Amino acid sequence: MLFFNRWVRLVHAVLGDLKLGAVIIEFATVLRGAQPFNAGNINATYDGQVLLGDGSIRQAIIKDLEPRELANELMAAAVALTVGLATPTPYVAAVDPGALQTTKGPIVSGKQMTFATVNVQTPSLRQIVIANGSSAIPALCQELMGWDDVGLLYGFDSFVANIDRNLGNLLFGGGDRVWAIDHGHCFGGPSWTAADLQSDKIFVDKLKVWLTPYMSEALRRSRAQDASDIVRKLDEESIEELGKRVGVDDLLDEADFDALISFLEGRKTHVPRIAADALGLPLLT
Protein backbone atom coordinates (compact mmCIF):
# COMPACT_ATOMS: atom_id res chain seq x y z
CA MET A 1 0.00 0.00 0.00
CA LEU A 2 1.46 3.33 -1.05
CA PHE A 3 0.52 6.32 1.08
CA PHE A 4 2.12 9.11 -1.02
CA ASN A 5 2.96 11.10 2.10
CA ARG A 6 4.90 13.73 0.21
CA TRP A 7 2.11 14.21 -2.30
CA VAL A 8 -0.56 14.48 0.40
CA ARG A 9 1.44 17.20 2.15
CA LEU A 10 2.00 19.13 -1.06
CA VAL A 11 -1.57 18.81 -2.31
CA HIS A 12 -2.90 20.03 1.03
CA ALA A 13 -0.54 23.00 0.85
CA VAL A 14 -1.63 23.75 -2.74
CA LEU A 15 2.03 24.37 -3.41
CA GLY A 16 3.31 21.52 -5.48
CA ASP A 17 6.74 22.45 -6.75
CA LEU A 18 9.18 19.55 -6.62
CA LYS A 19 12.64 20.96 -7.28
CA LEU A 20 16.18 19.82 -7.93
CA GLY A 21 18.31 22.54 -9.41
CA ALA A 22 16.59 23.59 -12.62
CA VAL A 23 14.10 20.71 -12.42
CA ILE A 24 10.57 21.72 -11.46
CA ILE A 25 7.52 19.47 -11.62
CA GLU A 26 4.46 21.27 -10.32
CA PHE A 27 1.17 19.94 -9.03
CA ALA A 28 -1.90 21.14 -10.89
CA THR A 29 -5.64 20.54 -10.85
CA VAL A 30 -7.49 19.40 -13.97
CA LEU A 31 -10.38 21.74 -14.74
CA ARG A 32 -13.73 20.48 -16.00
CA GLY A 33 -14.30 20.37 -19.73
CA ALA A 34 -11.27 18.39 -20.94
CA GLN A 35 -12.02 16.51 -24.14
CA PRO A 36 -10.70 13.06 -25.13
CA PHE A 37 -8.67 12.71 -28.29
CA ASN A 38 -6.69 10.04 -30.06
CA ALA A 39 -3.60 10.64 -32.16
CA GLY A 40 -2.37 7.05 -32.06
CA ASN A 41 -2.13 7.12 -28.26
CA ILE A 42 -2.74 3.94 -26.26
CA ASN A 43 -3.73 5.44 -22.92
CA ALA A 44 -6.82 7.57 -22.37
CA THR A 45 -5.68 11.09 -23.26
CA TYR A 46 -7.42 14.45 -22.93
CA ASP A 47 -6.94 18.00 -24.16
CA GLY A 48 -7.98 20.42 -21.45
CA GLN A 49 -6.90 23.00 -18.93
CA VAL A 50 -5.04 22.71 -15.64
CA LEU A 51 -4.96 25.16 -12.76
CA LEU A 52 -1.57 25.80 -11.16
CA GLY A 53 -0.86 26.70 -7.57
CA ASP A 54 -0.26 30.36 -8.44
CA GLY A 55 -3.74 30.64 -9.93
CA SER A 56 -2.65 30.58 -13.57
CA ILE A 57 -4.24 28.26 -16.13
CA ARG A 58 -2.45 26.24 -18.80
CA GLN A 59 -3.77 24.36 -21.81
CA ALA A 60 -2.52 20.83 -21.31
CA ILE A 61 -2.47 17.26 -22.56
CA ILE A 62 -3.63 14.97 -19.74
CA LYS A 63 -2.93 11.22 -19.58
CA ASP A 64 -4.55 8.62 -17.33
CA LEU A 65 -1.71 6.26 -16.38
CA GLU A 66 -1.09 3.30 -14.10
CA PRO A 67 1.31 4.16 -11.24
CA ARG A 68 4.33 2.47 -12.83
CA GLU A 69 3.86 4.23 -16.14
CA LEU A 70 3.30 7.50 -14.28
CA ALA A 71 6.60 6.84 -12.47
CA ASN A 72 8.27 6.30 -15.86
CA GLU A 73 6.94 9.62 -17.17
CA LEU A 74 8.04 11.53 -14.07
CA MET A 75 11.52 9.99 -13.96
CA ALA A 76 12.06 10.54 -17.69
CA ALA A 77 10.79 14.13 -17.49
CA ALA A 78 13.15 14.83 -14.60
CA VAL A 79 16.09 13.40 -16.58
CA ALA A 80 15.11 15.38 -19.71
CA LEU A 81 14.96 18.62 -17.73
CA THR A 82 18.29 17.81 -16.07
CA VAL A 83 20.15 17.24 -19.35
CA GLY A 84 18.37 20.04 -21.22
CA LEU A 85 16.29 18.03 -23.70
CA ALA A 86 13.21 19.96 -24.78
CA THR A 87 10.03 18.38 -23.43
CA PRO A 88 6.72 20.13 -22.74
CA THR A 89 6.46 21.38 -19.15
CA PRO A 90 5.23 18.42 -17.04
CA TYR A 91 2.72 18.41 -14.19
CA VAL A 92 1.28 15.92 -11.76
CA ALA A 93 -2.38 16.84 -12.25
CA ALA A 94 -5.07 16.02 -9.70
CA VAL A 95 -8.59 15.18 -10.90
CA ASP A 96 -11.52 16.03 -8.64
CA PRO A 97 -14.20 13.31 -8.47
CA GLY A 98 -16.49 13.62 -11.49
CA ALA A 99 -14.30 16.12 -13.35
CA LEU A 100 -12.86 13.55 -15.75
CA GLN A 101 -13.25 9.83 -16.41
CA THR A 102 -9.93 8.62 -15.03
CA THR A 103 -9.41 5.22 -13.43
CA LYS A 104 -5.73 4.31 -13.34
CA GLY A 105 -3.67 6.73 -11.30
CA PRO A 106 -3.08 6.74 -7.55
CA ILE A 107 -5.61 8.53 -5.37
CA VAL A 108 -4.32 11.24 -3.04
CA SER A 109 -6.72 13.05 -0.71
CA GLY A 110 -9.67 11.83 -2.76
CA LYS A 111 -8.18 13.05 -6.05
CA GLN A 112 -6.86 10.81 -8.81
CA MET A 113 -3.40 11.73 -10.08
CA THR A 114 -2.66 12.02 -13.80
CA PHE A 115 0.33 13.08 -15.87
CA ALA A 116 -0.07 16.32 -17.80
CA THR A 117 2.11 18.42 -20.06
CA VAL A 118 1.67 21.87 -21.54
CA ASN A 119 0.02 21.69 -24.96
CA VAL A 120 2.61 23.32 -27.22
CA GLN A 121 0.13 23.34 -30.12
CA THR A 122 2.57 21.56 -32.44
CA PRO A 123 1.87 18.38 -34.43
CA SER A 124 3.83 15.19 -34.07
CA LEU A 125 5.85 13.81 -36.94
CA ARG A 126 3.18 11.11 -37.26
CA GLN A 127 0.42 13.68 -37.66
CA ILE A 128 2.44 15.47 -40.35
CA VAL A 129 2.97 12.19 -42.21
CA ILE A 130 -0.74 11.30 -41.95
CA ALA A 131 -1.62 14.70 -43.42
CA ASN A 132 0.99 14.61 -46.20
CA GLY A 133 1.63 10.93 -46.90
CA SER A 134 4.61 8.68 -46.25
CA SER A 135 6.58 10.41 -49.01
CA ALA A 136 7.07 13.26 -46.53
CA ILE A 137 9.22 11.11 -44.22
CA PRO A 138 12.61 11.60 -45.95
CA ALA A 139 12.25 15.39 -45.99
CA LEU A 140 11.14 15.43 -42.35
CA CYS A 141 14.11 13.28 -41.34
CA GLN A 142 16.46 15.61 -43.21
CA GLU A 143 15.02 18.55 -41.27
CA LEU A 144 15.20 16.68 -37.98
CA MET A 145 18.87 15.86 -38.55
CA GLY A 146 19.54 19.59 -38.54
CA TRP A 147 18.05 19.97 -35.07
CA ASP A 148 20.86 20.98 -32.70
CA ASP A 149 19.74 18.52 -30.02
CA VAL A 150 19.20 15.40 -32.10
CA GLY A 151 22.38 13.91 -30.61
CA LEU A 152 21.10 14.73 -27.15
CA LEU A 153 17.91 12.85 -28.02
CA TYR A 154 19.96 9.74 -28.88
CA GLY A 155 21.82 10.05 -25.60
CA PHE A 156 18.65 10.54 -23.59
CA ASP A 157 16.85 7.59 -25.17
CA SER A 158 19.92 5.42 -24.64
CA PHE A 159 20.15 6.39 -20.98
CA VAL A 160 16.46 5.89 -20.13
CA ALA A 161 16.10 2.78 -22.32
CA ASN A 162 13.27 4.27 -24.36
CA ILE A 163 11.85 1.52 -26.56
CA ASP A 164 9.15 3.62 -28.25
CA ARG A 165 10.64 6.70 -29.94
CA ASN A 166 8.26 6.45 -32.88
CA LEU A 167 7.09 9.24 -35.19
CA GLY A 168 4.27 10.06 -32.78
CA ASN A 169 6.63 10.78 -29.90
CA LEU A 170 8.32 13.85 -31.31
CA LEU A 171 6.45 17.12 -31.77
CA PHE A 172 7.94 18.93 -34.75
CA GLY A 173 7.39 22.52 -35.78
CA GLY A 174 10.52 22.83 -37.92
CA GLY A 175 14.00 24.08 -37.00
CA ASP A 176 14.60 23.83 -33.27
CA ARG A 177 10.88 23.71 -32.46
CA VAL A 178 11.07 20.07 -31.40
CA TRP A 179 9.77 18.45 -28.20
CA ALA A 180 10.25 14.88 -26.99
CA ILE A 181 7.06 13.41 -25.49
CA ASP A 182 5.44 10.17 -24.28
CA HIS A 183 8.04 8.49 -22.07
CA GLY A 184 5.88 5.86 -20.41
CA HIS A 185 7.75 3.19 -22.36
CA CYS A 186 11.16 4.03 -20.97
CA PHE A 187 13.19 1.63 -18.81
CA GLY A 188 12.21 -1.18 -21.17
CA GLY A 189 8.47 -0.51 -21.04
CA PRO A 190 5.57 0.33 -18.71
CA SER A 191 5.55 -3.14 -17.10
CA TRP A 192 9.24 -3.49 -16.31
CA THR A 193 10.45 -5.62 -13.43
CA ALA A 194 13.68 -5.29 -11.49
CA ALA A 195 15.08 -8.26 -13.39
CA ASP A 196 14.62 -6.36 -16.69
CA LEU A 197 16.84 -3.50 -15.57
CA GLN A 198 20.32 -4.43 -16.72
CA SER A 199 22.47 -1.32 -16.96
CA ASP A 200 24.58 -2.51 -19.88
CA LYS A 201 21.69 -3.85 -21.97
CA ILE A 202 20.97 -2.45 -25.42
CA PHE A 203 17.19 -2.17 -25.65
CA VAL A 204 15.25 -1.69 -28.90
CA ASP A 205 15.85 1.84 -30.19
CA LYS A 206 13.42 2.88 -32.91
CA LEU A 207 15.55 5.87 -33.91
CA LYS A 208 18.03 3.35 -35.29
CA VAL A 209 15.31 2.12 -37.65
CA TRP A 210 13.70 5.29 -38.97
CA LEU A 211 16.18 8.16 -38.49
CA THR A 212 19.75 6.82 -38.39
CA PRO A 213 19.68 5.48 -42.00
CA TYR A 214 19.31 9.02 -43.34
CA MET A 215 22.52 10.21 -41.64
CA SER A 216 25.97 10.29 -43.19
CA GLU A 217 28.74 8.58 -41.23
CA ALA A 218 30.32 11.93 -40.40
CA LEU A 219 27.04 13.24 -39.01
CA ARG A 220 26.44 10.05 -37.05
CA ARG A 221 29.88 10.35 -35.43
CA SER A 222 29.23 13.98 -34.54
CA ARG A 223 25.84 13.15 -33.03
CA ALA A 224 27.34 10.24 -31.09
CA GLN A 225 29.72 12.68 -29.41
CA ASP A 226 26.76 14.93 -28.54
CA ALA A 227 24.96 11.90 -27.10
CA SER A 228 27.95 11.04 -24.91
CA ASP A 229 28.02 14.57 -23.49
CA ILE A 230 24.92 13.91 -21.38
CA VAL A 231 27.04 11.74 -19.08
CA ARG A 232 28.79 14.86 -17.80
CA LYS A 233 25.44 16.50 -17.01
CA LEU A 234 24.14 13.35 -15.32
CA ASP A 235 27.28 13.04 -13.18
CA GLU A 236 26.42 16.40 -11.63
CA GLU A 237 23.17 14.99 -10.18
CA SER A 238 22.23 12.28 -7.72
CA ILE A 239 19.76 10.12 -9.61
CA GLU A 240 18.33 8.84 -6.34
CA GLU A 241 17.63 12.35 -5.07
CA LEU A 242 16.19 13.31 -8.44
CA GLY A 243 13.78 10.38 -8.32
CA LYS A 244 12.74 11.15 -4.77
CA ARG A 245 12.21 14.83 -5.41
CA VAL A 246 9.75 14.13 -8.24
CA GLY A 247 7.88 11.50 -6.25
CA VAL A 248 8.94 8.34 -8.10
CA ASP A 249 9.67 6.62 -4.78
CA ASP A 250 6.02 7.18 -3.81
CA LEU A 251 4.83 5.31 -6.90
CA LEU A 252 7.11 2.28 -6.70
CA ASP A 253 7.79 -0.09 -3.85
CA GLU A 254 11.19 0.25 -2.22
CA ALA A 255 12.80 -2.67 -4.04
CA ASP A 256 11.68 -1.46 -7.47
CA PHE A 257 12.73 2.12 -6.76
CA ASP A 258 16.17 0.93 -5.66
CA ALA A 259 16.43 -1.24 -8.77
CA LEU A 260 15.54 1.69 -11.03
CA ILE A 261 18.08 4.00 -9.40
CA SER A 262 20.79 1.34 -9.55
CA PHE A 263 19.98 0.77 -13.23
CA LEU A 264 20.30 4.46 -14.07
CA GLU A 265 23.43 5.09 -12.02
CA GLY A 266 25.10 2.08 -13.63
CA ARG A 267 23.89 3.03 -17.11
CA LYS A 268 25.77 6.33 -17.21
CA THR A 269 29.02 4.65 -18.25
CA HIS A 270 27.27 2.69 -21.01
CA VAL A 271 25.60 5.65 -22.76
CA PRO A 272 28.44 6.22 -25.28
CA ARG A 273 28.37 2.56 -26.38
CA ILE A 274 24.57 2.30 -26.49
CA ALA A 275 24.13 5.60 -28.35
CA ALA A 276 26.86 4.63 -30.81
CA ASP A 277 24.98 1.40 -31.52
CA ALA A 278 21.74 3.36 -32.13
CA LEU A 279 23.70 5.50 -34.59
CA GLY A 280 25.10 2.47 -36.37
CA LEU A 281 28.65 3.01 -35.13
CA PRO A 282 31.21 0.88 -33.30
CA LEU A 283 32.02 1.71 -29.68
CA LEU A 284 33.65 5.13 -29.46
CA THR A 285 37.23 5.19 -28.23
So what's the pLDDT on residue 38?
78
What distance in Å separates the CA atoms of residue 61 and residue 175, rounded to the nearest whole number? Answer: 23
The residue count for the chain:
285
What distance in Å separates the CA atoms of residue 277 and residue 227, rounded to the nearest whole number? Answer: 11
So what's the pLDDT on residue 237?
86
pLDDT 10s digits, 118-137: 999 999 999 999 999 999 99
18 beta partners: 25
pLDDT 10s digits, 56-103: 999 999 999 999 999 999 999 999 999 999 999 999 999 999 999 999
So what's the pLDDT on residue 24?
67
Low-confidence ranges of the chain (pLDDT < 50): 1-3, 8-22, 285
Cβ(188)–Cβ(161) below 8 Å = yes
User: SS3 breakdown of the chain: % helix, strand, coil, rounded to 5?
Assistant: 45, 20, 40
- pTM of this prediction? 0.92
So what's the pLDDT on residue 1?
34
Strands 23-30 and 90-95: parallel
